[in-house]
Amino acid sequence: MKYVKLGNSNLKVSKVCMGCMGFGDPNNGMHTWTLPERESIEIISQGMDSGINFFDTAIGYQNGTSEQYLGKAIRENAVRDDIVVATKFLPRSEEEIKNNVSGQRHIHNFVEKSLENLGLDYIDLYIYHMWDYNTPMYDILEGLNEVIDEGKVRYIGISNCFAWQLAKANALAESEGFAKFVSVQGHYNLIFREEEREMIPLCKTDNIATTPYSSLASGRLSRLPGTESKRLNEDFYAKLKYESSESKDLEIIKRVDELAQNYGVSMTEVSLAWLLTKITSPIVGATKTHHVEGAVNSVDLELSDDDIGYLEEPYVAHDLVGVMADNKVTASDDDRVWAKHTKVI
């Protein structure tokens, strides 16, 4: 495994981050394809044994059970200071807004709950899961700064935002003496490259780490079409993101398979090797042993400039999907989906 500094922080992270959305009680949350506790800890432990020290979860994943399983795996199998734990908090709920729970108090509540779930004393990277259009950015930044000052959080990141929002937030943080966001977790992979327009250049200019999610497009970049899986059949959110562009993406997927055969490696390795030429550390979900192996092996695969050009050449512009599709309206709708399945407050 290779390691890299996470943007402007002092965190040294593995070149691959293990995404923990696939871990958590399958009977307690949005997804039915997640791994229960024992299987989750086995995969997390395999990642640690393979050199992965960077793990990304969220309080919204399976009602906090993803955080619980990750924390237990760390306590049982690792030295805490050797592991970088990232977790995410949700926007204020409609009930909190109605009850006048401030953005600052909201963050304190969520930090305490995540620490309880994890069974840990601090969070290395605390991520603003999606832009809260109902809460002033000042309140969010002040709340995050307070939990950093209390020693409960080391650094902060952001997810699902536009480049202008990140730039504006960090400018406000600088003017007020608050901690800045050191990383961004956006939607970015070989078949969805819209982050290259504004976000990637901003991050390169300001040394903000890029840790994209959906690195393998929910499995679409790791296998040819026609292969079945429980997640592929049941993950409605992944279908929302990718079904409408299947015909446009197919040529790229075929080229990934072609290069994989030429190199004698998996499609996963080719897809992630391409991504590693662009960003800091991709978030890669893993629910099987070979998922971990493919992610780890990708770090050592070096694609030529011709390979990279060949993979990129068929790409066409994509519409934004999910949280980013229609700023405030879609973000609020997605927040309600999470809130419906997440019992945090």
Inter-axis angle of helices 65-77 and 37-49, nearest 10: 50
Show the tokens assigned to 183. Answer: 């990383």
Distance CA 60, CA 58 (A): 5
61: annotated active-site residue: yes
Distance CA 142, CA 305 (A): 44
Q: Angle at Cα 292 formed by Cα 291 and Cα 293, nearest 5°? A: 90
For the chain, first and last CA: distance in Å? 38
Distance CA 325, CA 331 (A): 8
Contacts of 182 (CB under 8 A, 6+ apart): 6, 7, 8, 9, 125, 155, 156, 157, 208, 209
Q: Which of 3, 61, 133, 155 is catalytic?
A: 61
> Rg of the chain's alpha carbons, rounded to an integer?
19
Distances (CA, A) of 162 to 55, 110, 128, 138, 159: 24, 24, 13, 17, 9
Show the tokens assigned to 73. Answer: 């795996």
Give SS3 for 276.
Answer: helix
> Catalytic site residues?
61
